[in-house]
Amino acid sequence: MSPARRPEVVVITGASSGIGRATARAYARRGARLVLASRSRAALETVAEECRAHGARALVVPTDVSVEAQVQALAEAAVAQYGRIDVWVGNAGVFAYGGFDQLPPGVFRQVVETNLMGQVHGARAALPHFRRQGTGTLVMIASLYSRVASPGISPYVTSKYGVLGFAEALRQELRGSGVRISLIIPGAVDTPIYQHAANVTGRRARPLPPAASPDRVARAIVRSAGRRRFAAYVGGLQRLVVPVHDFAPGFYDAIASVLMDRFELHGTSSVSFGTVLEAPGRADPTTGGWRSARLRLALATGVGAAVAAFLARRR
């Protein structure tokens, strides 16, 4: 008989909602030993109980990934508890809507500190353990906005472009080390990030359809540790905008502006900093409610109308 496979030790940041919560459940079903991190202990305990219900062991470590010392402490807690780290999933992220001149500097900085520097701090914390083991996978959650931009979300785009460059540089530096870098590039995902974004536009925000299920992204994350491929896109339809962006940038810019102004932002809303500067007090749902059949039809119709209006104006 072959020896039993050793359970993976997996650290997940941003584990209290959305993609992180779905990923925690996916690994729990595989029997992984989990280390769950986000800023709110109460939120993490809810997710940890879900994972334990699947028979997994789950350690809760409240962590603000924008603070390097806390991320170092997260890695040390994982090794102290389980003896090693096999997979580090850098998923923590926040979002902000508003023109560059509108957004307070502190909000812009915090989005970059969380989304980009959180990945840098995770790499600094995990890589020494991976090198000592001679193996390990660092999974970074990027975005379609690592490849294309959109007006009104400049801090998010800045942070996600940075994640792509950072991951590629690390991939090159780590060749032959036994340590793998895996980049997950989702388009819009049905998570609460849109409801909890900082928003100074005075209008409500919603994602462009079709929004992928967070469980679909979680499956891509789990598969990535066993594959040689560096980057995996999630959401094939939205990926089609990449060649438009690359080969017809003027056309792409015009369409992106129309979609943001006429579709992604709609109605009225009060100014809010969401969860960018303060952690939520409880676990958020895995989904944001953007995938109901009626809503998806309405969203797709709205996008089609916005594009048609733009093309008619061009003609």
Active-site amino acid positions: 156
In the DSSP assignment, the letter for residue 46 is H
3-state helix, strand, coil in the chain (%, to 5): 50, 15, 35
CA distance 226 to 38: 25
Question: Are the C-beta atoms of residues 258 and 304 closer than 8 Å to each other?
Answer: no
> 62 to each of 31, 88, 239, how far by Cα in Å?
22, 16, 34
> 173 to each of 119, 123, 127, 167, how far by Cα in Å?
16, 13, 12, 10
CA distance 96 to 128: 33
In the DSSP assignment, the letter for residue 139 is E
